[in-house]
Amino acid sequence: MRTVTLGRSGDRSESDGTRHSVRCGWLLLPVLLAVVAYGPILRAGFVWDDRLAYAEAPESLDRFWMLFSPTAYRAEFEDFVSVMGPRFWPITVLSIILDKKLNRFVIDPSVGALDERRARVPHGMLLLQHGVMTLLVTALLRELLRDTERRDAGAIFGGLLFAAHPSHGGSVCFLMGRSDVLAGIFMLASILSALRYRNQRSWLAAAASAGFWGLALLSKEFALTQVAVLPFLYVLGATERRGSGKPLAIMHFVVLVIYSVLRFSPGERMVLTVPADAHVFAERLVSAVAFYIERSLVPFPPTPYAIEIPGALRTIPAIAVGLASLAGAIGLFRRGHSLPLMAVFWFLATIAPALLPAVVPGFSINPIAERYLYIPSVGIALLAAFVMEQALARPAWRVPSISVAVVLLVLGVAGCWGQTQIWQSEISFWEYVVSQPQNARHPSAWYNLGFAYEDASRRADAFRAFQQAREIPGVSATHGVSLLGIAEIVFADAVALFQASEFPAAEEKVREAESLVLEADGLGADASKVHLCLARYGLLRVYAHRLHTGKSEAADLAAIRNHLESVLRGDPTNAQARKLLRAVQVR
């Protein structure tokens, strides 16, 4: 009899273990879909700011501590800061450094620093981080659905929707978009730890929550929104509270103080200028909110790069949907369902920082960006999880709800694959950007395409793109950039003539390039680039003239030195200017 009892107990234990393993397997399904949806990005190269960021990123961790001191960081890594801007993202920068170090072991050392094969490791690491974020989203949804009957099914669907949401292309495919992914990972880890503290009164969980939030802040400032989100989830969460949350709040306050001390140097001030016209401010704010609502619900066609905010025709329906969702969430909350209200609040609270570029003039060239939806879309996943859980609880709705879910996921994966094709290369990215009517009206989109063609040695296509940029009415400085691009094409022709020993023709081509640079200077092009171009072009002209006539003009060499010294006064670390100056001094 005793043997039989033990056998039944063992069978029950084995059965429980099997069910647990199966449940864990299903909960990992969203992670698998995340890899499938964005897996094609592993064939992509460096796009947009990726090239400069990875070229200028520090190579070693010898001065690791400087990443956490803005003053020392800006002084030591000046070239990298010029690419990254005044951001304080030490954890994000650290991940880039680790990518570069890992590249040395995985990729043949003879491969060029910006060769497309060098991008496989960073893309692989970012895809892995998206998988981790998806797992954390699924875990958070399961925790918030804890008191419901079918929380696993709801959490899995919400996780699947997050994994294959096409609006995440700017965060998962764009290597510099990893700041959103890293901030999201640490932010969700912090919230999950805080909920664990609430349910189990674990001081270790409270300390972990504060520590993870600190890492999130050091990945991207958007994690500050946790100040609003966490108390809301803590109070309205589905599980039973035990004890006070004051110790958790105190730990988070200490982290915030430490972050503020690290982030802001003594005497540093952040000045934001909002439009003086209240009507313009309100219009841009409402239009930006409408854009993010629309992109989160209907992410087709993709908008990886936007220079202007959509007009009122697209704003009104999106705002109507947003208001209806808020009203519905409040109504359900009064009937005892808090999850929809948590979902809507999460979306609105975490999207707030993304509205700054829209309402603050000059904050960014892109007033709106799909990649800012990465963390707010957790709210969309929570809402979807709630709807699925409620639908599966009603037998008549099960088949229709599962059918709709399958269609949505198939469309999502297709959209993600489309995003990976857009982000495959510099050329594919900018060709798609200029194919969108709202971007084709702006010179900056065309001259970026021109530079992409030029890097690929497609000079005829580059010339047409630069000319297209010049023909569009706009800011004169953007036309100056296009002229610099055309000048580079003409200079490349001069180099080819020089190498063919056609020195008079090469000299003439150089003069043509110099005239284009001077015209760009008159339109307000970057002075440092103008001086550097004139120095490079002038040096080739001097060489061509000397090889043709046997003479070199001292005045020309003096002018070249002046140009290079002007560059170095503004950027003492400019390696190209230093090299050219040494060559001129030797001459």
The predicted-structure confidence for 210-269, as pLDDT tens digits, reads as follows 999 999 999 999 999 999 999 888 877 644 555 567 889 999 999 999 998 888 765 555
Please name which of 185, 183, 85 lies closest in space to residue 134, comparing C-alpha atoms.
185
| Residue at 215 is within a domain | no
Query: Same structural domain for residues 416 and 472?
Result: no
Are 327 and 416 contained in the same domain?
yes
> How large is the average pLDDT for residues 340-352?
95
The answer to which of 140-144, 419-423, 581-585 has the lowest mean pLDDT is 581-585
Residue 11 lies in a domain: no
Q: Does the pLDDT value for residue 7 go beyond 50?
A: no
| pLDDT value, residue 24 | 67
Rounded CA-CA distance 369/376 in Å is: 13
Calpha distance 236→225 (Å, rounded): 17
Domain boundary among 387, 422, 457: 422
Same domain, 512 and 382: no
- CATH assignment of the domain containing 456: 1.25.40.10
Residues 449 and 565 in one domain: yes
* pLDDT band at residue 397 using 50, 70 and 90 as cut-offs: very high
Q: How far apart are CA 253 and CA 210, in angstroms?
A: 9
Tell me the pLDDT band of 153, cut-offs 50, 70 and 90.
Answer: very high
Residue 114 has pLDDT above 70, yes or no: no
Q: Which residues, at least 6 apart from 362, have a Cβ–Cβ distance to it below 8 Å? A: 273
> Are both 463 and 548 inside the same structural domain?
yes
pLDDT band at residue 559 under the 50/70/90 scheme? confident
Helix/strand/coil for 580: helix
**Residue 303 and residue 314 in contact, taking contact as beta carbons nearer than 8 Å:** no
pLDDT band per the 50, 70, 90 thresholds, residue 4: very low
In a shared domain, residues 413 and 376: yes
- Quick one: 388 and 491 in the same domain? no
Q: Tell me the C-alpha distance between 583 and 587, whole Å.
A: 6
391 and 459 inside one domain: no
Answer whether residue 184 is part of any domain. no
441 vs 346, residue with greater confidence: 346
Domain count along the chain: 2
**Residue 2 located in a structural domain:** no
With respect to residue 293, please indicate whether it lies within any of the assigned structural domains.
yes
**Tokens matching residue 345:** 């609040």
Reported confidence tier of residue 6, pLDDT bands at 50, 70, 90: very low
Of 74-88, 153-167, 539-553, where does mean pLDDT reach its minimum? 74-88
262 within domain boundaries: no
Q: What is the DSSP string of 127-190?
A: HHHHHHHHHHHHHHHHHHTTTSTTHHHHHHHHHHHHHT-GGGHHHHTSGGGHHHHHHHHHHHHH
Q: How far apart are CA 417 and CA 429, in angstroms?
A: 14
Q: Is residue 144 part of a domain?
A: yes
Q: How big is the chain, counted in residues?
A: 587
* Residue after which a domain boundary falls, among 391, 422, 453: 422
Left, alpha or beta for 218 (phi > 0: left; psi -120 to 50: alpha)?
A: alpha
> What average pLDDT does the structure give for the chain?
84
Question: 303 and 385 share a domain?
Answer: yes
Statement to judge: residues 472 and 580 lie in one domain: yes
155/389 Cα distance (integer angstroms)? 8
| Span of 137-141, 164-168, 498-502 with lowest mean pLDDT | 498-502
* Tokens linked to 212: 């993870």
Residues 468 and 365 in one domain: no
pTM comes to 0.87
Q: Last residue of a domain, which of 378, 393, 422? A: 422
Which range marks the domain in which residue 481 is found? 442-586
Domain-located, residue 582: yes
Q: Do 413 and 448 belong to one domain?
A: no
The per-residue pLDDT for 22 is 58
